[in-house]
Amino acid sequence: MMKNDGGVILFWLLLLFTLYARGKSYSVPGKPTLTRCRSPEKETFTCWWEPSSDGGLPTTYKLYYRKEDSSDVEYECQDYRTGGKNSCFFNKNYTSIWVNYNITIVAINALGQTFSDPVDIDVYYIVEPNPPENLNVTIQNDKGWPFLRASWDPPKKADTRSGWITLIYELRIKLEEEDEWEIRDVGQQKVFNIYGLQSEGTYVVQIRCRPDHGFWSEWSADVQVKVPNYLRRNRSTWIMIIVFSAVVFLILSWLLHINSRNLKHCLLPPVPGPKIKGFDKKLHKSGKSLDAFKSLDVPDFPHHTFSKSEDLLVEFIEVYVPEEQELMLEKSNDLHDGCLKSESSVSDCDSGRGSCDSHTLLLDKSGQQTDTQDSQIDEQRLGEDLQDEKLSYAHQDMVSPDMSAGRVKTWPSVFSPLPQNRSTSADQASSLEMAKQHCLSDSLLPSEFLTSYHSLSGHGTRDHLGSNYWEFNFGNKRPNLTQPQTEARHQAHSEINIFTTGVKAEPTALKFPTPRSSDYVEVQRVNEEDSIVLRPVGSNYDKHFEIQQGEEYSRVKGVDSDNVLLLLQKEAMEEEMDMCPCEQLSGTTEAHYTKFSTSPEKPTAYTHPTPQPLEERVVNGYVDTATMFTMPPY
């Protein structure tokens, strides 16, 4: 009895002692909580819990669960070890994907037990796979630009082969020294390429995966890879490019420098001011137009300029002849006859024969040249425009009121098989060419003229002219053949007559009927027959030229009331040069011819001062077509 009492007392003393010794109070354990449950492959799962206070006493934990379909039966966890401390592992036999689990943790100690809150688990939604395995990153080469290729395997436990679990992957990469990761979504594939690498950088790569309904796995282990240096090749390429472009630039600048002048002209073409050689603007502005025009005079014009045959370039100006007169003229013309006939007279031109009809000394041409220019030009009635228009205007004023409105007609070339085709040029004074009138009709009245002026352009050779005129002829021909001078023809002529004289062609190559040498002639004297004896100036440049040496003269047609000698233009043969000083400008011709006439008189009735220079020209036996241009248009 004493022992029993002593034992009990001892027990209680011990208990009290322990209590006091620890300085604590003992209690039932705290409420544990289920922290997480995970299934790595949807076939098993593990749950972990967190214990709370143990109440100072040794506490054990138990896990109880119920299954949804048999909720009255409570099961206990079979495996507390596999998952570690405070865990419960459900193996395959105990895992069902069809039912939910209701799990409760119980903490038991000497004083009592505490239940945790129950948790429902659906195995489908707690899948957290293991990280992917065998991550392998290699450097691949794509034409000198390297890239990384990462490949991996799914975690072993996850059954992706049969489709039991579908995993999607995520990769992250960063340079070794950086802190920020760059994340790339990969999808379901197991290979991934990474481009845009830094040369000579070291990269760190990781991978993780997730089922379609589930949690992300942990990141796999690091894989390091070093990118080789690939920039050097690029650098050399850049150097080459720079050198090449520098060379090209140098070449271009050198070329520019050489052609700077040309370029300047090309890019900034100088604006041509109106300019006539020798024309003094100031004089003109000052009102002394005559002086201004005088200054244009080239004193030794015919002599010098005709020094070379190449300089001779005949240009034609068409002088318009009124239709009726033309018709008449046509009738009376022969093919080689470049004579103009006025309506009032029956021309008796024998152009090309080297003489003009003496009794038809109608010099309606003012200051016209009888000079023979290049043979090609000779007696061509290539119409020309416009400057002659002025002449014709003047002519008109002087000669006849009937004259058509100053249009210049041009004759077709003599050497063409054309009938006398006179074409009137359009009323445009654009061309610088003057047709030389080769023939003066006997009955040239003031009212009608075909005058063609030749002018030396100074360019081109006879040969050119030949070709030119050939073309002219054809042009002329067409309209001429069709109708008597119609407007169209005139226009056609005018078109044709606007002909540059700068063309160089070989007369020999052309079927040039007869190139005429066009030389200038000087009036030597007037013989007793009232013929003017002319002397060619310059001479035989023209090989084709078979001119009658010696005297050539033009017949004086007659003298009009004003004491003006009207000369017939000498109709030359094809080879002959036109010796007739056929001038178109009646007014001026009159003026000029008064000089030649036996009864010289002052020039009469100038309507405008411009013909004066012509007068002077005529002194030389030549009319400078340039001066014609200065005549104001009517």
Partner 1 sequence: MHTRVLHQSLWALLLWPHLFAVSAPLDCRDDPASLARCPSISQEKLLDRVIHHAELIYRVSEESCSLFEEMFIPLPLRLQTNQGGYACITKSLPIPSSKSEIQQLSDKWLLHSVLLLVQSWIEPLVYLQMTLDRYDHAPDMLLNKTKWVSEKLISLEQGVVVLMKKMLDEGTMTTAYSEQGAFQYDVQLDILESIMRDYTLLTCFKKDAHKMETFLKLLKCRQTDKYNCA
Nearer to partner 1, 31 or 459 (CB): 31
User: What's the rounded Cα separation, in Å, for the pair 519 and 503?
Assistant: 19
- The dihedrals phi and psi of 212, each to the nearest 5 degrees, come to -65, -35
With binding defined as CB under 8 A, does residue 607 bind partner 1? no
With binding defined as CB under 8 A, does residue 609 bind partner 1? no
With binding defined as CB under 8 A, does residue 126 bind partner 1? yes
Give me the residues paired with residue 554 across strands: 532
With binding defined as CB under 8 A, does residue 549 bind partner 1? no
User: What's the rounded Cα separation, in Å, for the pair 582 and 421?
Assistant: 17
With binding defined as CB under 8 A, does residue 30 bind partner 1? yes
Q: How many CB atoms lie within 10 A of CB 476?
A: 30
| Count, residues in the chain | 634
Smallest distance from partner 1 to CB 69, Å: 6
Nearer to partner 1, 158 or 496 (CB): 158
Smallest distance from partner 1 to CB 39, Å: 11
Smallest distance from partner 1 to CB 117, Å: 5
Q: Which of 365, 483, 375, 376 is nearest to 424 (CA)?
A: 483
With binding defined as CB under 8 A, does residue 217 bind partner 1? no
With binding defined as CB under 8 A, does residue 97 bind partner 1? yes
With binding defined as CB under 8 A, does residue 601 bind partner 1? no
Largest pairwise CA distance in the chain: 202
With binding defined as CB under 8 A, does residue 37 bind partner 1? yes
Beta-carbon contacts of residue 273 (< 8 Å; ≥ 6 apart): none
Nearer to partner 1, 56 or 146 (CB): 56
Tokens of 61: 């934990």
Q: Which amino acid is at 532?
A: I
Smallest distance from partner 1 to CB 126, Å: 7
How many residues bind to partner 1 according to rule CB under 8 A? 36
Smallest distance from partner 1 to CB 116, Å: 8
Q: How many CB atoms lie within 10 A of CB 543?
A: 13
Residue range at the interface with partner 1 (CB under 8 A); choices 90-98, 344-352, 412-420, 424-432: 90-98
With binding defined as CB under 8 A, does residue 495 bind partner 1? no
With binding defined as CB under 8 A, does residue 68 bind partner 1? yes
Smallest distance from partner 1 to CB 55, Å: 8
User: What's the rounded Cα separation, in Å, for the pair 537 and 522?
Assistant: 6
The SS3 of residue 565 is: strand
Nearer to partner 1, 33 or 540 (CB): 33
With binding defined as CB under 8 A, does residue 117 bind partner 1? yes
- Contact status, residue 339 vs residue 349, Cβ threshold 8 Å: yes
Which residue of 163, 273, 287, 550 would you call a contact of partner 1, by CB under 8 A?
163
Which residue carries 């008064």 as its tokens? 594
Smallest distance from partner 1 to CB 131, Å: 18
Residue ranges in 276-315 that form contacts with partner 1 under rule CB under 8 A = none
Residue range at the interface with partner 1 (CB under 8 A); choices 34-42, 201-209, 353-361, 583-591: 34-42
CA end-to-end distance (rounded Å), the chain: 169
Smallest distance from partner 1 to CB 20, Å: 17
The SS3 of residue 252 is: helix
Which residue of 73, 144, 162, 235 would you call a contact of partner 1, by CB under 8 A?
162
State whether the Cα torsion 596-599-601-603 is positive or negative: negative
Which residue of 64, 79, 86, 96 would you call a contact of partner 1, by CB under 8 A?
96
User: What's the rounded Cα separation, in Å, for the pair 577 and 454?
Assistant: 12
Nearer to partner 1, 100 or 423 (CB): 100
Residue 420 buriedness (CB in 10 A; 0-12 / 13-18 / 19+): buried
With binding defined as CB under 8 A, does residue 26 bind partner 1? no
Smallest distance from partner 1 to CB 206, Å: 22
With binding defined as CB under 8 A, does residue 153 bind partner 1? no
Chain centroid offset of residue 203 CA? 51
- The dihedrals phi and psi of 390, each to the nearest 5 degrees, come to -65, -40
Q: Which residues of 577-594 are buried (b: 16+ CB within 10 A; e: fewer)?
A: bbbbbbbbbbbbbbbbbb
Smallest distance from partner 1 to CB 46, Å: 13
Which residue of 10, 16, 35, 264 would you call a contact of partner 1, by CB under 8 A?
35
- Contact status, residue 616 vs residue 294, Cβ threshold 8 Å: yes
With binding defined as CB under 8 A, does residue 113 bind partner 1? no
Smallest distance from partner 1 to CB 189, Å: 20
With binding defined as CB under 8 A, does residue 239 bind partner 1? no
Q: How many CB atoms lie within 10 A of CB 530?
A: 18
Residue range at the interface with partner 1 (CB under 8 A); choices 156-164, 219-227, 430-438, 481-489: 156-164
With binding defined as CB under 8 A, does residue 98 bind partner 1? yes
Which residue of 48, 53, 334, 551 would you call a contact of partner 1, by CB under 8 A?
53
Q: How many CB atoms lie within 10 A of CB 1?
A: 5
Q: Which of 320, 341, 338 is nearest to 385 (CA)?
A: 320
Residue 285 buriedness (CB in 10 A; 0-12 / 13-18 / 19+): exposed
Residue ranges in 131-150 that form contacts with partner 1 under rule CB under 8 A = none
Which residue of 39, 87, 100, 413 would you call a contact of partner 1, by CB under 8 A?
100
User: What's the rounded Cα separation, in Å, for the pair 411 and 413?
Assistant: 6
* DSSP element (H, E) containing 142: strand 133-142
- Contact status, residue 43 vs residue 95, Cβ threshold 8 Å: yes
With binding defined as CB under 8 A, does residue 189 bind partner 1? no
Nearer to partner 1, 122 or 324 (CB): 122
User: What's the rounded Cα separation, in Å, for the pair 89 and 83?
Assistant: 6
Residue span 455-494 as binding mask against partner 1, x where in contact by CB under 8 A, dash where not: ----------------------------------------
Smallest distance from partner 1 to CB 96, Å: 6
- What residue ranges bind partner 1 (CB under 8 A)? 25, 27, 30-31, 33-37, 50, 52-53, 68-69, 92, 96-100, 102, 117-122, 124-126, 162-164, 213-215
